[in-house]
Chain A
Amino acid sequence: MSEAKKFLYVNRRAPYGTIYALESLEVVLIGAAFDQAVSLAFIDDGVFQLAKGQDTKGLGVKNFSPTFRALGDYGVTKFYVEKESLAERGLSEDDLMPITYEDENDGFAEKPSLIFVDRAEMARVMRDQDVVLSF
């Protein structure tokens, strides 16, 4: 077996207006099941996917935001969130869902999955990948 490749899924769309965000999440789950090193990036309107308090009952579509919190169990523990994209939309870190994972190398200590980076850091995160997939 070759070594796991580093995959970054870049999310640039808000969650319910188009199917992009949900499809991205489905592909992330598939990638994680194949033991690839998967991390996520949220820039531009993609940061809206992580907003707290999403309630889609009135729309009759699935609220998939809780699924992000399950990704830690699939080894997806790095969610890079761009600070400028939050600020441009009047959001702060507190407006996002808390997302954590249990670190199996540290006595299953609960640790935050959200990593807040500025735009320049995000560019370096992107360049650090083997494969970048955009949604």
Chain B
Amino acid sequence: MSTLHMVNKSPFERNAMQSCLEHTLEGDGVILFEDGVYGAVKGSAVTGLIEKKAGTVKVYVLGPDLAARGITDGRIVDGITVVDYPDFVELVTTHERTQSWL
């Protein structure tokens, strides 16, 4: 039933993450990667969007993309899970479909 939503654009440049979150349903997963990882950082203008969905949607962020951008795990919004590449593949297989938000 569930969908893995994939967001790879900065939420400060495009509305992909916002639109994605507004179209999620309970049980869905959202993975932030590439420039999408900026959406996972605490205390930004978009933090509230993620916190609002925290109860119903599981949010993941790709660790290597955080590290590349100098973002330490301590700066990630509470409740977001940091994953590696094998985890990402696993998420694709454990959700029924994927949906990209370009």
Contacts and interface: CB of A to CB of B under 8 A. Distances in A.
Contact residues on B (Cβ < 8 Å of other chain), bracket: 10 to 19
Contacts, number: 38
Interface string B1-26: 11100000000000110010011110
Interface string A111-135: 0000000010011101101111011
Contacts of A20: 102
A20 B16 CA distance: 15
B97 interface: yes
Contacts of A130: 97
Given A124-B25, A126-B3, A127-B3, A43 B19 contact: yes
Contacts of B98: 132
A123 B25 contact: yes
Given A12-B101, A43-B23, A127-B28, 13 more contacts: A10-B99, A12-B102, A20-B102, A44-B15, A123-B23, A123-B24, A123-B25, A124-B25, A126-B23, A127-B25, A132-B97, A132-B99, A134-B99
Contacts of A44: 15, 19
Contacts of A43: 19, 23
30 contacts: A10-B99, A12-B16, A12-B102, A43-B19, A43-B23, A44-B15, A44-B19, A119-B22, A119-B23, A122-B23, A123-B22, A123-B24, A123-B25, A126-B3, A126-B23, A126-B99, A127-B1, A127-B2, A127-B3, A127-B25, A127-B28, A129-B97, A132-B3, A132-B97, A132-B98, A132-B99, A134-B99, A134-B100, A134-B101, A134-B102
